[in-house]
A and B are shown apart, each in its own frame.
Chain A
Amino acid sequence: MHHVVIDRWSRRTSPIHAREPRTKLIALAVFLISVATTPGVSPLAGAGYMGVLIAGIALSRLPLGGVLARAAVVLPFSVAFAAVNWLAGDAGRAVALVAKSYLSAAAVLLVVATTPLEQFARAMEGLGTPRLIALVVQFLYRYLFVVSEQAQHMRVAAACRAPRVPGAGGGLRFRAAAGAVGVLFARSYARAEGIHRAMLARGFEGRFPAVALARPRLPDFLFLLLAAALSLAVRIGVGRA
């Protein structure tokens, strides 16, 4: 399960893990804005941004291949939109779309994988995000565990009853998959209700127990300065049109 691995990563120790979460979120915002406002993405700019990310991944002591592979989860969506641009004759925009979405996903993943969720949500609140949105993010994340567990149970049960037969009809498989998605939704809904009920029974009143954030210290500010400077350097230096 992707998010299980990421959750485990977020509880490791490293110079990046140790940084105050708000400074990481601001650094992430600077990076994302730099990438988004880079006109097109030249190979040099792409390499520059990727260099910043790889340095961050190395400092965080996370597996480089694992992070980069997981960031590719965004590609099916961006490639679909890129294909439309490509067919419309704008190959440059198509390439930029894929490159920017991948770089952005990798950056977000790096921050999420180095910040435990409760600290991440608290940092969002600390930076002015409405509490409701922070709460929804936390619920969404928790329920990802639930949905993926349900999906795995169903996959195992389906595999037991219907091992893949070579040459079996694609239509049948599609109908089975479509039905499974519907059942998965219903089961996840029921499970989510059960979890919410159990939370209420333990005193939950619509608000996760707050995690106090430490005040940013000098190393946090230096990290923010360096990360922002690198992103802007790529944007201004090699990312010009």
Chain B
Amino acid sequence: MSREPVIDARRLRYRYDDGTLALDGIDFRLGAGETVALLGPNGSGKTTFVLMLNGLLAGEGEISVCGMRLERRSQTAVRRKIGMVFQDSDEQLFMPTVLEDVAFGLLNQGAGREQALEAALGALERVGMRDAGRKAPYHLSAGEKRRVALAGVLVMSPEILILDEPTTYLDPPGQRELIHLLKGLPQAKILVTHDSSFASALAQRAVFFVKGRLVGEGPVDEIVRRFSWDGRSG
């Protein structure tokens, strides 16, 4: 990878309170504009890894984001650079209306209310949810929630997007729309996914996690083949 890294993580280790070693010496780099898929079995440390990248979990090792070393003082600035769409959209959508929820991040950044709401409408339009602005998030379908959660991150114009299991709950047309949408976004992306076809459609390379270690790295199709990760059962 020759591009200037927007994420440079070295020797990451994380141990949960119950003693489980979730990450065991991960080295990872993400180039500007690059899309990388994180593959691996459940519980292999993928989500823990991405939570560490913007300081939501604090473990051992060094992380640099857009040239800033991640530490307590720089957390806020780092989180502005990374937009994270969580695995469970319900954890992200908690404001009374969709529009307010999408505007939440911008308001936290100090934007004026009118400006934030206008930008939120624009972000909703990008994900095809403009008409849902006045709805309560709990009235949306799972796929709609996913799109709104993405809008809530896009509105903050992050330089890096992290999407944790973005295709969960999406029907095939919804997945195709998401691929189309993500392809049009210029940001560097990390996709945590079990879906190898989704990863192939978007990512230039993949890394494979097993028991908290990064055991393989390369073109998506090669990694999928090497680890028999084509998503077909039997």
A4-B138, A197-B56 as given contacts; A205 in contact with B76, CB under 8 Å = yes
The smallest beta-carbon distance between A42 and chain B, in angstroms, is 40
B91 contacts across to A, CB distance below 8 A: 191, 194-195, 197-198
- Interface-lining segment among B11-19, B29-37, B78-86, B211-219: B78-86
Q: Looking at the complex, which one of A11, A194, A199 makes contact with B88 (CB distance below 8 Å)?
A: A194
CA distance A116 to B100 in the complex (A): 12
Contact: A116 with B79, CB < 8 Å?
Answer: no
Q: Which residue of A lies closest to B97 (CB)?
A: A11
A201-B79, A203-B79 as given contacts; A211 in contact with B56, CB under 8 Å = no
Contact: B108 with A201, CB < 8 Å?
Answer: no
Contact: A202 with B94, CB < 8 Å?
Answer: no
CA distance A195 to B113 in the complex (A): 22
- The reply on B202 being an interface residue by CB < 8 A is no
- The reply on A137 being an interface residue by CB < 8 A is no
**Most chain-B CB neighbours within 10 Å: which of A4, A7, A142, A209?**
A209
- Chain A 109-145 interface 0/1 with B at a Cβ cutoff of 8 Å (1 = within): 0000000110000000000000000000000001001
CA distance A151 to B199 in the complex (A): 35
Contact: A202 with B153, CB < 8 Å?
Answer: yes
Contact: A200 with B96, CB < 8 Å?
Answer: no
**Which B79-127 residues have a C-beta within 8 angstroms of A?**
79-80, 82, 84, 86, 88, 90-92, 94, 96-97, 104-105, 107-109, 113, 116
The smallest beta-carbon distance between A239 and chain B, in angstroms, is 37
| Interface of A (DSSP majority class) | helix
Q: Looking at the complex, which one of A194, A197, A200, A211 makes contact with B113 (CB distance below 8 Å)?
A: A211
The smallest beta-carbon distance between B123 and chain A, in angstroms, is 12
Contact: B136 with A209, CB < 8 Å?
Answer: no
A197-B91, A202-B104, A203-B79 given; name 17 further pairs at CB < 8 Å: A7-B96, A7-B136, A116-B96, A145-B138, A194-B88, A195-B94, A198-B92, A200-B79, A201-B54, A201-B56, A201-B84, A202-B108, A202-B156, A203-B156, A209-B107, A209-B108, A209-B116
**Number of contacts between A and B (CB, 8 Å)?**
68
CA distance A211 to B100 in the complex (A): 12
- The reply on B152 being an interface residue by CB < 8 A is yes
**Which B42-96 residues have a C-beta within 8 angstroms of A?**
51, 54, 56, 76, 79-80, 82, 84, 86, 88, 90-92, 94, 96
Q: Which residue of A lies closest to B101 (CB)?
A: A202
**Which A79-135 residues have a C-beta within 8 angstroms of B?**
116-117
- The reply on A8 being an interface residue by CB < 8 A is yes
Interface size on A, residues (CB 8 A): 25
- Chain A 4-29 interface 0/1 with B at a Cβ cutoff of 8 Å (1 = within): 10011001000000000000000000
Contact: A209 with B104, CB < 8 Å?
Answer: yes
Q: Which residue of A lies closest to B139 (CB)?
A: A4
B153 contacts across to A, CB distance below 8 A: 202
Q: Looking at the complex, which one of B86, B97, B107, B113 makes contact with A198 (CB distance below 8 Å)?
A: B86
B138 contacts across to A, CB distance below 8 A: 4, 145, 149
A209 contacts across to B, CB distance below 8 A: 104, 107-108, 113, 116
**Which A173-199 residues have a C-beta within 8 angstroms of B?**
191, 194-195, 197-199
Contact: A203 with B105, CB < 8 Å?
Answer: yes
Contact: B80 with A203, CB < 8 Å?
Answer: yes
CA distance A116 to B104 in the complex (A): 16
CA distance A116 to B228 in the complex (A): 52
- The reply on A221 being an interface residue by CB < 8 A is no
